[in-house]
Amino acid sequence: MTTITASTTAPPRARKLVGAGRRQWIGLIYVAPAVALVMVFFVIPLGMTAWMSLHNWPLMGEHTFIGLDNYWAILRDTRFWNALKFTGYYTVVVTIAIFAVAFPLAIFIEKPRPLTNLYRTFFFMPAVVGFASASLLWSWLLNVDSGLFSPAAYDLGLIDRKFNLLATFQPAFWSIIAMVVWKVAGFTMIILMTGLQSIPQDLQEAAVIDGAGPFARFRAITLPLMRRTLALALILSVAGSILAFDQFYIILRGGPRNQTLTAVYWIFNQSFVSFKLGYGAALSMVLLVILVALSLIQLWLLRKPEGLD
């Protein structure tokens, strides 16, 4: 009886194992293109960058292994730390500005009303323009002679003479902030709008019946239920701000007086102007560690509280 039982139960088990193995291979085939893209465009370049950072790697000629010397040099690079300090200041200011504009816009377009689709399209349109193209556009707008802002203000009698907005730090900095908010706020608005639309309407109606005002509903319902959406929007905004380069390179060229040098701009300068590719790779690795750490901190701060479904 034991032999008969084993012979009758073995084939179904074998079929299950074969079926499970086939499903695993099918799953691997489906994910293989994505894995290949990640390997080719992220993992391999990351490994090459880490390897280059351990070398004196000129643009031309032989490279030599120097260990951690590039990283020790970073500790003495005051220009990099000043650029990193400015990048942090810019990140804080522009992130606050983006959310200050995007959140009211998201609340405004979240509810169906006349021309809502038109408003959404209008506010989102700058997001489809590349940063390089937007920077070229604003470089013309900010031009003191042939641009729009300063000549228009002069022609309207608002100022006594044409004012160069890019000549000193404060006007130049806030001009960049205005350009980035114009460019990015629409994209952040769409992300926040999806979060607002995912909040059950029953909760809002129950809070209204209980006598909760708009601010109380926003604080007790909207913000807690939008933690994941806020985390996504915040990480994208902070990461994009830390990696800012196009607008500062095209519009300001790091000026005035190198006061708007960002971390990525300095990496570009060391790598492709001074041709210190190994040192630029080391700077890139340090910036990557900082970016990953900041993203993890943001995820931890905006983590979902226990018991909140």
Query: What angle (nearest 5°) sits at the alpha carbon of residue 225, between those of residues 221 and 226?
Result: 115
Region 8-24: mean pLDDT is 60
Residue 18 predicted with pLDDT over 60: no
Region 164-193: mean pLDDT is 94
Give the pLDDT confidence score for residue 2 in this predicted structure: 46
Give the pLDDT confidence score for residue 4 in this predicted structure: 46
Give every CB contact of residue 116 below 8 A, 6+ residues apart in sequence: 109
Q: Using 50, 70 and 90 to split pLDDT, how confident is the model at 157?
A: confident
Give the pLDDT confidence score for residue 5 in this predicted structure: 46
Q: Identity (one letter) of the amino acid at 155?
A: D
Give the pLDDT confidence score for residue 210 in this predicted structure: 77
Give the pLDDT confidence score for residue 250 in this predicted structure: 93
Give the pLDDT confidence score for residue 12 in this predicted structure: 63
Residue 302 predicted with pLDDT over 80: no
pLDDT in tens, 232-282: 899 999 999 999 999 999 999 888 888 999 999 999 999 999 899 999 999
Give the pLDDT confidence score for residue 11 in this predicted structure: 61
Task: Name the residue among 256, 234, 282 with its Cα closest to residue 91.
Answer: 234
Q: Which residue has the higher pLDDT, 61 or 131?
A: 131
Give the pLDDT confidence score for residue 162 in this predicted structure: 85
Cβ-contact 255, 166 below 8 angstroms: yes
pLDDT in tens, 99-156: 999 999 998 988 887 888 898 899 999 999 999 999 999 999 999 888 888 888 888 8
Percent of residues, the chain, with pLDDT higher than 90: 50
Region 272-299: mean pLDDT is 92
Give the pLDDT confidence score for residue 30 in this predicted structure: 84
Give the pLDDT confidence score for residue 227 in this predicted structure: 86
Domain assignments of the chain as residue spans, ordered by start:
62-300
Domain 62-300: top CATH class: mainly alpha
Residue 13 predicted with pLDDT over 70: no
Query: What angle (nearest 5°) sits at the alpha carbon of residue 172, between those of residues 168 and 178?
Result: 160
At 132, list the tokens. 């390089």
Region 31-42: mean pLDDT is 88
Q: Measure the CA dihedral 132/138/139/145, to 10°.
A: 160
Give every CB contact of residue 49 below 8 A, 6+ residues apart in sequence: 281, 284, 285
